[in-house]
A and B are shown apart, each in its own frame.
Chain A
Amino acid sequence: MKYRGTKLRQLGINKRKLGKTGYNFVFGLLLTIVMVGLIVLGFLWSPYDPEAMQGSVKLNAPNLVHIFGTDQFGRDIFSRVLVGAGSTLSIALGTVLIGGGIGIIAGAVTGYFGGWLDEMLMRVNDALAAFPSVLLALVIISIWGTGKYKVMLALGIAFIPSFARIVRGEFLRCREADYVISAKLIGVSTPRILFVHILPNILPALLSSLAIGFNNAVVQEAGMSYLGIGVQPPDASLGRMLSESQTYLASGPWCAIFPGVFLVLLVLGVGMLGEGILDRFGGGR
Chain B
Amino acid sequence: MLRVENLSLHFEDKGKIQEAVRGISFHMQESEILGIVGESGSGKTMTALTIAGLTKEHEVLDEGRILLDQTDLLALSPKEMRDIQGRNISMIFQEPMTALNPTMKIGKQVEEALVLHTRLSKEERRKKAIRALEDVELERPDLLYGKYPHELSGGMRQRVMIAAAIVCRPRLLIADEPTTALDVGTQESILRLLKKLNKKYNMGILFISHNLRVVNELCSRVLVMKDGVILEEGPTEQIFEDPRTQYTKDLIAAIPGRTKSSAFYKLLKAKAGE
A264 within 8 A of B: no
The answer to whether B86 touches A187 (Cβ under 8 A) is yes
Interface flags for A167-204 (1: CB within 8 Å of B; 0: not) read 00000000001110111111111000000010011010
A residues near B103, Cβ cutoff 8 Å: 200-201, 203
What's the tally of chain A residues with a CB closer than 8 Å to chain B? 16
Q: State how many angstroms separate the Cβ of B97 from the closest Cβ of chain A.
A: 8
Name the one of B54, B83, B84, B168 contacting A181, with C-beta atoms under 8 angstroms: B54
Q: Given contacts A178-B93, A197-B104, A200-B104, are A187 and B83 in contact (CB under 8 A)?
A: yes
| Extra 13 A-B pairs, beta carbons < 8 Å, given A185-B90, A187-B113 | A177-B98, A178-B99, A179-B98, A179-B99, A179-B101, A185-B85, A185-B91, A186-B112, A186-B168, A187-B87, A188-B86, A200-B101, A201-B103
A residues near B102, Cβ cutoff 8 Å: 179, 201
B residues near A189, Cβ cutoff 8 Å: 82, 116
Q: How far, in angstroms, from A189 to B113 measured CA to CA in the complex?
A: 11
The answer to whether B85 touches A187 (Cβ under 8 A) is yes
Size bracket, chain B contacts: 20 to 34
Binding site for B on A (CB under 8 A): 177-179, 181-189, 197, 200-201, 203
Q: Which of A178, A184, A188 has the most CB of B within 10 A?
A: A178
The answer to whether B84 touches A197 (Cβ under 8 A) is no
Q: State how many angstroms separate the Cβ of A284 from the closest Cβ of chain B.
A: 13
B224 within 8 A of A: no
The answer to whether B161 touches A182 (Cβ under 8 A) is yes
B95 within 8 A of A: yes
Closest-by-CB residue of B relative to A283 is: B102
Binding site for A on B (CB under 8 A): 52-54, 81-87, 90-91, 93, 95, 98-104, 112-113, 116-117, 161, 164-165, 168
The answer to whether B93 touches A181 (Cβ under 8 A) is yes
B residues near A177, Cβ cutoff 8 Å: 98
The answer to whether B164 touches A187 (Cβ under 8 A) is no
B residues near A181, Cβ cutoff 8 Å: 54, 93, 99
B residues near A203, Cβ cutoff 8 Å: 103
* CB within 8 Å: A-B pair count: 65
Q: How far, in angstroms, from A268 to B271 measured CA to CA in the complex?
A: 68
Q: How far, in angstroms, from A177 to B85 measured CA to CA in the complex?
A: 19
A residues near B98, Cβ cutoff 8 Å: 177-179
Q: How far, in angstroms, from A255 to B81 measured CA to CA in the complex?
A: 67
Closest-by-CB residue of B relative to A186 is: B86
Q: State how many angstroms separate the Cβ of A138 from the closest Cβ of chain B.
A: 40
The answer to whether A197 touches B52 (Cβ under 8 A) is no
Q: How far, in angstroms, from A78 to B85 measured CA to CA in the complex?
A: 62
Q: How far, in angstroms, from A186 to B100 measured CA to CA in the complex?
A: 13
B residues near A179, Cβ cutoff 8 Å: 98-102
Q: State how many angstroms separate the Cβ of B257 from the closest Cβ of chain A.
A: 33
A residues near B81, Cβ cutoff 8 Å: 187
Q: State how many angstroms separate the Cβ of A189 from the closest Cβ of chain B.
A: 6
Q: How far, in angstroms, from A120 to B85 measured CA to CA in the complex?
A: 32
Q: How far, in angstroms, from A200 to B148 measured CA to CA in the complex?
A: 13
23 contacts between A and B (CB under 8 A): A179-B98, A179-B101, A179-B102, A182-B99, A182-B101, A183-B112, A184-B54, A184-B85, A185-B53, A185-B90, A186-B86, A186-B90, A186-B116, A186-B165, A187-B82, A187-B84, A187-B86, A187-B113, A188-B112, A200-B103, A201-B101, A201-B102, A203-B103
Q: State how many angstroms separate the Cβ of A280 from the closest Cβ of chain B.
A: 14
In the complex, the 6 A-B pairs of residues with the closest C-beta atoms, listed nearest first: A186-B86, A187-B85, A187-B82, A200-B103, A179-B101, A178-B98
The answer to whether B85 touches A178 (Cβ under 8 A) is no
Q: State how many angstroms separate the Cβ of A107 from the closest Cβ of chain B.
A: 18
Name the one of B52, B83, B101, B117 contacting A185, with C-beta atoms under 8 angstroms: B52
The answer to whether B161 touches A186 (Cβ under 8 A) is no
Q: Given contacts A178-B93, A181-B93, A197-B104, are A186 and B99 in contact (CB under 8 A)?
A: no
Q: How far, in angstroms, from A188 to B93 measured CA to CA in the complex?
A: 17
Q: How far, in angstroms, from A177 to B53 measured CA to CA in the complex?
A: 17
Name the one of A178, A182, A187 contacting B117, with C-beta atoms under 8 angstroms: A187
